[in-house]
Amino acid sequence: MTPATTNENIGLMIHARAGLGVLHELTGVIAVHRGDILSVEIIEQGSAEARIYFEIALPGPTAELAADLRALAIVRKVEVVETLQKIYGKRIIIMGGGAQVGQVAIGAVSEADRHNIRGEHISVDTIPLVGEQALADAVRAVARLPRAKALVLAGSLMGGEIEQAVREVRQDGLLVISLNMAGSVPDAADLVVSDPVQAGVMAVMAVADTAKFTVEKLKRRVF
């Protein structure tokens, strides 16, 4: 891969000695190079070595930053990689009962494929899950997931704490689509769709740059 030179978001995979203060040393070097850390994740940490992934908006040469990181005593290897944003792009999260999740995924994956062929980067994640508290916790966690743009709730009955969680993540800017189900969650969602396959299609269309579908312009919210 050709290193970035100016004003580009880059990915860095750093293999470093495990222990206290590792992030402090790494971020100190990044700050010296005026890098704006967009995301950081400790992918693996054993007793001897940690693998740490950074996405950084860097105004200067990537090679200089990589060289200074390699010069640290704690660093064993630095790889410049494509960002997860560029590879996987926007994420659609589908959760709920297994059968409904599967049907929503059929629509979402088919529609994402259509847009990705045209240059988009949209990925689809699923988790079959039941239980009010488990679903409420999972809904709230979506707001913490990198690149998550839309959540589809696929089930036959959801309400209570799940409804409250939906209202919270919508305030954080997450688009929430619900199947037309029993319970109060459909009242809290941005969009309610009866057909699970169509719900998956509409979720992708709502976040795709290559689509002209905009939820805010709809004259009704139940389909």
Domain ranges of the chain: 8-85, 88-217
Contact (Cβ atoms closer than 8 angstroms) between residue 171 and residue 193: no
Of 66, 60, 85, the C-alpha closest to 14 is 66
CATH code given to domain 8-85: 3.30.70.260
Averaged pLDDT, 32-53: 86
Which SS3 state, helix, strand or coil, does residue 7 take? coil
pLDDT digits (tens, 9 = 90+) for 49-105: 889 999 999 998 899 999 999 999 999 999 999 988 888 889 999 999 888 999 999
Write down the architecture of domain 88-217 according to CATH: 3-Layer(aba) Sandwich (3.40)
Averaged pLDDT, 135-151: 93
Query: Given this model, what pLDDT does residue 84 score?
Result: 87
Query: What would you measure as the largest C-alpha separation in the chain, in angstroms?
Result: 60
Instruction: With 0.85 as the threshold, say if the pTM is over it.
Output: no
pLDDT digits (tens, 9 = 90+) for 17-30: 988 889 999 999 99
pLDDT digits (tens, 9 = 90+) for 112-122: 999 999 888 99
pLDDT band, residue 15 (cuts 50/70/90): very high
Paired tokens of 28: 């100190």
Query: Given this model, what pLDDT does residue 5 score?
Result: 44
